[in-house]
Amino acid sequence: MSQIYDRVAYIGLGLIASSMIHAGRRAGLQREIVGTARSAETRAIAREDGLCDIVTDTAAEAVKDADLVVLCVPVGAMEKVAAEIGPCLKPGCTVTDVGSVKRAVIAAVQPHLPEGVHFVPAHPLAGTEHSGPRSGFAELFDNRYTLVVPDAATDKEAVARLEAFWKGMGANVEFMDPDHHDLVLMVTSHAPHLIAYTMVGVADDLGRVTDSEVIKYSAAGFRDFTRIAASDPTMWRDVFLNNKDATMEILGRFIEELMSLQRAIRTGDGDQLHSYFTRTRAIRRGIIEAGQDTAAPDFGRGGGQTEGPSG
């Protein structure tokens, strides 16, 4: 793969940013990497590890002369960062993000970008429950999907370059409308996370089951819930607050489905339960056949992966 951008600036240096840096270096996609983070400790680790060619103390410094700026901060912090960097962006620069909500991010970022700067929102569907500048690895995006969500009026060359950048990092790229993105991700990622947090919370509330029993006797299903529920709390708080409509719609549907199953169990309707579980099992098979997982235990990943700190 050949170089796509001369200077790339990463705002936020957690799992997704550090993985993008490693994947970009692996393919030679960027000549110079500049990074910054809100935490002085994170900046110090990035300097110590040589994660970036340059680590700055502020986002405004980081974006100076950058050809691509990647916003890798929680959704709730996007507007503040956009307001800070807006006056410092060079004409022709592309700004993108990795947030797992798109409509709210567009509304937060777009107004702060000057004319001549191209905003191309994106969302890599990859992650782990780990965070921080040392959690990233080059293979994170291999054969995973990145959804690119440009406006119809967005510069076509800017969109094509960002698409090539993500493909160079190993991702499969598809395009999607922001509202549809938010609904799809609520089904595939956000609601499962909310349910996982709730299930772990229920276990914590059950006085008749001790903490030690929950930890010692966790079967695979509960272990997977705890893995998902270990994801970054700030990010997930912002996701739900900024994707409220889709959250309420899917939670309503979930409650209806749960009540239907509750009724089938109460009335002894084994046929309904068997039919329901057969349909849901077919979806799991489809995920494996699409190459997005394996049939091996523990999601076939050893350490486990989920739509984490991007989302």
Residue 289 confidence class, pLDDT cut points 50, 70, 90: confident
For residue 190 the two structure tokens come to: 């956000």
At residue 181, does pLDDT exceed 50?
yes
127 vs 173, higher pLDDT: 173
Query: What is the arithmetic mean of pLDDT over 17-44?
Result: 97
Regarding predicted confidence, which is higher, 307 or 123?
Answer: 123
Selected from 1.10.3660.10, 2.60.40.420, 2.102.10.10, 3.40.50.720, the CATH number assigned to the domain covering 180-300 reads 1.10.3660.10
- Which CATH superfamily, name and number, covers 5-176? NAD(P)-binding Rossmann-like Domain (3.40.50.720)
Closest CA to 84 of 98, 99, 69: 69
Mean pLDDT along residues 85-103: 97
Residues of the chain with CATH 3.40.50.720: 5-176
**d(C-alpha 194, C-alpha 192), whole Å:** 5
Predicted confidence at residue 301, as pLDDT, reads 45
Q: Which pLDDT does position 304 carry in this prediction?
A: 41
Cite the residue boundaries of each domain of the chain with CATH code 1.10.3660.10: 180-300
Neighbouring residues of 198: CB distance < 8 A, sequence distance ≥ 6: none
Residues 6+ positions from 77 with CB-CB distance below 8 Å: 38, 238
- Which has the higher per-residue pLDDT, 204 or 162? 162
pTM of the model: 0.81
With contact defined as beta carbons under 8 Å apart, do 46 and 66 qualify? no
Task: Look at residue 244 and tell me whether its pLDDT is greater than 80.
Answer: yes
